[in-house]
């Protein structure tokens, strides 16, 4: 079975594009925007990759940020599997 088809479909790729855009926004906010207080922009990266990324939040240092990557890939695979399943049924009726 070819598992890459779950990540290479319009729904999964669109989701990964949204995640990349949000992570880019978080990076720009962290590096170039002056804040009088702390910014909560980094929370958005964890929220859009939840629930898988939330398992990594309590890990120390950079391991917490690895949760965003893991969460994005897991969620994209789940969305891709759902897309494949639903589009397969619509294209190939049983009766």
- The tokens describing 5, both together, are 């088809």
CA atoms within 13 A on the CB side of 73: 6
pLDDT digits (tens, 9 = 90+) for 18-59: 999 999 999 999 899 888 887 888 899 999 999 999 999 898
* d(C-alpha 23, C-alpha 39), whole Å: 14
The predicted structure's pLDDT at residue 91: 47
The predicted structure's pLDDT at residue 2: 63
pLDDT digits (tens, 9 = 90+) for 54-71: 999 898 888 888 999 999
Reply yes or no on whether the pLDDT at 93 is more than 70: no
Task: Please provide the DSSP assignment of 9-31 as one string.
Answer: SHHHHHHHHHHHHHHHHHHHHHH
> pTM score, two decimals?
0.82
């Amino acid at each position: 079975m070819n598992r890459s088809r779950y990540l290479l479909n319009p729904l999964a790729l669109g989701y990964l594009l949204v995640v990349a855009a949000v992570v880019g926004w978080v990076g720009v906010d962290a590096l170039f925007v002056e804040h009088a207080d702390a910014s909560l922009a980094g929370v958005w990266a964890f929220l859009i990759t939840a629930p898988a990324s939330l398992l990594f939040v309590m890990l120390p240092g950079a391991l917490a940020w690895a949760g965003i990557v893991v969460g994005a890939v897991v969620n994209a695979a789940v969305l891709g599997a759902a897309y494949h399943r639903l589009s397969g049924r619509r294209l190939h009726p049983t009766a």
